[in-house]
Structure 1
Amino acid sequence: MSTSDLRSTAAHSTVPVAEKTRRRGPNRDAVVAAVKAVAGIIGIFAVWQIAVAIFDPPEFLLVGPFSAFAELAKRPEYFLSNTFVTLQEALAGFALGTALGVLCGAALHYSSTVRSFLYPALIAIDTIPKVALAPLFIVWFGFGFESKAFVAMAIAFFPLVINTYDGLSSVPHELQELARINKASQWKKMTKIEFIHALPAVLSGAKISISLAVGGAVVGEFIAGSKGLGYVILLANSQVDLASMFAAFIILAVIALALFFLVDQAGRRLVPWKNHSS
């Protein structure tokens, strides 16, 4: 076999191995990370239950995770129906917040006039506690699904605005020059270079926003809710039913973690080059 044949064989054998390693790496890392996360959660529950068993506080002060899970097993339909309500509100708010946040972030980047007028106002509004804005949405949209979704949107909106703006503003000068040299249109420059480069930042904002949207839905239910996990927590609080309250907390944590994981996995699919940059 000649030297050229050996080189060709080595190249053909090395590339698939490298590709397989690169493909398997992120999946293996994700499994390890998931196992560690589950172990950490189990550890927290174990410490919590042990502390309750040792100190034996009265049930109106603290209950253990076993009591919370027993409450979930006792009334699964009750918690499932209210979970579905909160999940719908959170997803609707996240979708609205994502769309408006990306559009607003792009407007801040591409228009200096919009940026000079709108950016300070957005920062000022962001400093207002969203609990204070919730009654306003209820006045505007009533006591139904819409008001809770808009509260979730208001909370999920700001991380996406800031991350989109920062991502678009951080496009390297070399890429800008490359587009100019190739006489790319503004549309191609925006879609082929700027938004592609900003996508990791946008997805990072989405991972923050999805958890905030869950909290926003609960805030809306606190103010004016007759169903949902926020209402479950308020009702349990009025009845000093800590088992139901902690059961709702656990469900909210599971929802937030699951949605965060889904957005993270979507980001890995959309920006694979970021995951293999090392």
Structure 2
Amino acid sequence: MASPEVSEVGSDGLRQSPPEAALGGPAIPKSKMFSRDSIVVGAKAVAGIVGLFVVWQLVVIIFSPPEYLAVGPISAFDELIKRPDYFASNTWVTLQEALAGFALGTALGILCGAVLHYSPTVRSFLYPALIAIDTIPKVALAPLFIVWFGFGFESKAFVAMAIAFFPLVINTYDGLSSVPHELQELARINKASPWKKMTKIDFIYAIPSIFSGAKISISLAVGGAVVGEFIAGSKGLGYVILLANSQVDLPSMFAAFIVLAAIALALFFIVDFAGRKLVPWKNHAK
């Protein structure tokens, strides 16, 4: 990763010069946003997904399992076409819960990661506790959130937050700890204020690592919302799966699986795209 450069130093701290330097390199031309390589990568991804569905359908055709054991993607997509409003309304519920949990987890994760980095005393007490909490299965924590926040939207959002939180903590802490020693010394020698150092150096270097954690967290947040719906849900894709399971309705169940995978994949690429826009020097250096 190409590093952002600090070209001028003022009496009040550090000041980065041109916008290109603040980004760690020259701006990427818009024509490269959808380059031939990116189109090829996208085409391969689509081909891989289509190939997975084809293999899945072929396995079902060849082995012909009973419908209460497995169905093919054709049956699942047929179910989606038959009841679009049913799946759309429940998808919207799960999506809201996941996005709320992701937003909360991101904000708290970045804040906690920064506290761990800037306060060694707090880190010595808090870091082991965070690891211990993260080892607890989130399914076990879900009933506790329901007791605290009830059976509504809030409990599912907080379950999603609990799952999405930890990757942001670790990646923020690792990113802030990756600042080169030379720049730290430069800031110290020129008596840069802590705020200047944090905003002009530390978080610039941490952004790529933070977005790496965010790409993990966004998918986990979707799973966290579903976990909450499993425990106490009357709507959402988790509820759809539970209801289909009780009725041995595998087409509906697999349709919900496909929608969940599509949501997680779409959110992942949205976060990835945002990272590419906010961290252009990382892509330019490749």
Residues 1:195 and 1:20: Cα distance change in structure 2 (over 3 Å): closer
Give secondary structure in 2 for the equivalent of 1:49.
helix
Identity of aligned residues (%): 82
User: Which structure exhibits the higher relative contact order, with contacts defined as CA atoms closer than 8 Å and separated by 6 or more residues?
Assistant: 2
Give secondary structure in 1 for the equivalent of 2:70.
coil
Give secondary structure in 2 for the equivalent of 1:61.
coil
Unpaired segments ≥5 residues, structure 2:
1-25
> Counterparts in 2 of 1:65-80, with a 5 A limit?
65-80=73-88
Decide which of 19, 28, 34 is 1:27's aligned counterpart.
34
- Answer yes or no: is the 8 Å Cα contact 1:26–1:275 preserved in 2: no
- Answer yes or no: is the 8 Å Cα contact 1:22–1:276 preserved in 2: no
Match of 1:13 in 2: none
RMSD between aligned residues: 1.3
2:199 partner amino acid: T
Note the alpha carbon deviations across 1:25-49, whole angstroms, 9 max, x for none: 4522332222111100000000111
Decide which of 172, 180, 194 is 2:202's aligned counterpart.
194
Q: Tell me how far apart the structure 1 counterparts of residues 110 and 28 of structure 2 sit (CA, whole Å).
A: 35
Note the alpha carbon deviations across 1:84-133, whole angstroms, 9 max, x for none: 00000000000000000000000000011110110000000011111000
1:176 partner amino acid: Q
The alignment's TM-score, normalised by the length of structure 2, stands at 0.89
Q: Which has the higher helix share?
A: 1
Unpaired segments ≥5 residues, structure 1:
1-18
Match of 2:137 in 1: 129
Find runs of 4+ consecutive structure 1 residues off by over 4 angstroms: 19-23
Asked if 1:166 corresponds to 2:174, the answer is: yes
- Answer yes or no: is the 8 Å Cα contact 1:232–1:248 preserved in 2: yes
Query: 1:182: how far off?
Result: 2.6
The alignment's TM-score, normalised by the length of structure 1, stands at 0.91
Q: Tell me how far apart the structure 1 counterparts of residues 257 and 57 of structure 2 sit (CA, whole Å).
A: 16
Match of 2:229 in 1: 221
- Answer yes or no: is the 8 Å Cα contact 2:28–2:280 preserved in 1: no
Query: 1:175: how far off?
Result: 1.0
Q: Tell me how far apart the structure 2 counterparts of residues 243 and 176 of structure 1 sit (CA, whole Å).
A: 58
How many residues end up aligned between the 2 structures? 260
Q: Tell me how far apart the structure 1 counterparts of residues 134 and 66 of structure 2 sit (CA, whole Å).
A: 40
Match of 1:113 in 2: 121
Query: 1:22: how far off?
Result: 5.6
Note the alpha carbon deviations across 1:48-84, whole angstroms, 9 max, x for none: 1111111111100010000000000000000000000
Match of 2:6 in 1: none
Q: Tell me how far apart the structure 1 counterparts of residues 195 and 50 of structure 2 sit (CA, whole Å).
A: 50
Query: 1:183: how far off?
Result: 2.1
Q: Tell me how far apart the structure 1 counterparts of residues 237 and 51 of structure 2 sit (CA, whole Å).
A: 25
1:27 partner amino acid: F
Query: 1:235: how far off?
Result: 0.2
Q: Tell me how far apart the structure 2 counterparts of residues 105 and 30 of structure 1 sit (CA, whole Å).
A: 32
Decide which of 246, 253, 259 is 1:245's aligned counterpart.
253
Match of 2:216 in 1: 208
- Answer yes or no: is the 8 Å Cα contact 2:168–2:213 preserved in 1: yes
- Answer yes or no: is the 8 Å Cα contact 2:27–2:281 preserved in 1: no
Structure of higher CA gyration radius: 1
Q: Tell me how far apart the structure 1 counterparts of residues 64 and 183 of structure 2 sit (CA, whole Å).
A: 63
Give secondary structure in 2 for the equivalent of 1:38.
helix
